[in-house]
Amino acid sequence: MTEASQGLLDAFVAGARDASFTEQLAVLLGVIYIVLAIRRHRGCWIAGGAGTALYAFVFLDARLLLQAALQVIYVAMAVYGWLAWRPESGTVGFAPRRWTLRPQLAAGLAVLALSAITAPLLGRYTEAVAPLADALGTWASVAATWMLARRVLESWIWWVAIDAGLALLFLSQGLAFTAALYLAYAFLAIAGWRSWRSALEPAA
């Protein structure tokens, strides 16, 4: 085992041991959320909404202020996702859809623009410890969650990159248990992409 991987393992073990009950429960709900989302099960939004509500307190304590605010947005989007995937709209066992490159580029530019506006404000007026990474992770996550609620296949590709980046951010702030969850999310997002790809609608 390399020195870097040993250090990561040691950080995870220490983080798991020291994690609060709130963080542990949020991690459990997060795992349930993504497993159900991969299976295109509507109940994912219940687990996701509950888990993100708990994470708002975890991230506030870690001074990741935009990540804390993001959890509030997630709760609202969980309600939207629950409604969008309702059985009467044919979303049980639904066929995912694809986005062409153009809307994805538009979403990416919006993320960059919002991050460029938000990061300096965070750095100047708050105690945020990583304003640029916090801003990028926040707005990219909002975009990817919206895409997921809209049943867009490419949302999973976004999540691979987002979750890997957030894992590094959380590890740097001592949230090793949560960092491990987000690293697992990145791998599960690959599984989600493969699962959703098998039943596609034409590109929108």
Give the residue carrying structure tokens 């859809």: 97
**Residue 89: Cβ within 10 Å count:** 10
State mean pLDDT over 159-184: 85
Q: What is the pLDDT of residues 92-109, one digit of tens each?
A: 556 788 888 899 999 999
What six digits make up the tokens of 57? 């307190």
Contacts of 118 (CB under 8 A, 6+ apart): 66, 131, 135, 138, 139
Residue 91 pLDDT grade (very low, low, confident, very high; cuts 50, 70, 90)? very low
pLDDT at 132 over 80: yes
What six digits make up the tokens of 167? 């894992």
Characterize 24-57 residue by residue with b for buried, 16 or more Cβ atoms within 10 angstroms of its Cβ, and e for exposed.
ebbbebbbbbbebbbebbbebbbbbbbbbbbbbe
Q: Average pLDDT of the chain?
A: 83
Who wins on pLDDT, 70 or 116?
Answer: 116
138-144 contact pairs (CB < 8 A, 24+): 138/66, 138/67, 138/69, 138/70, 139/110, 139/111, 139/114, 139/115, 140/111, 141/70, 141/74, 141/166, 142/70, 142/73, 142/77, 143/107, 143/108, 143/110, 143/111
Q: Could you tell me the residue ranges of all domains in the chain? A: 8-197
State mean pLDDT over 200-204: 56
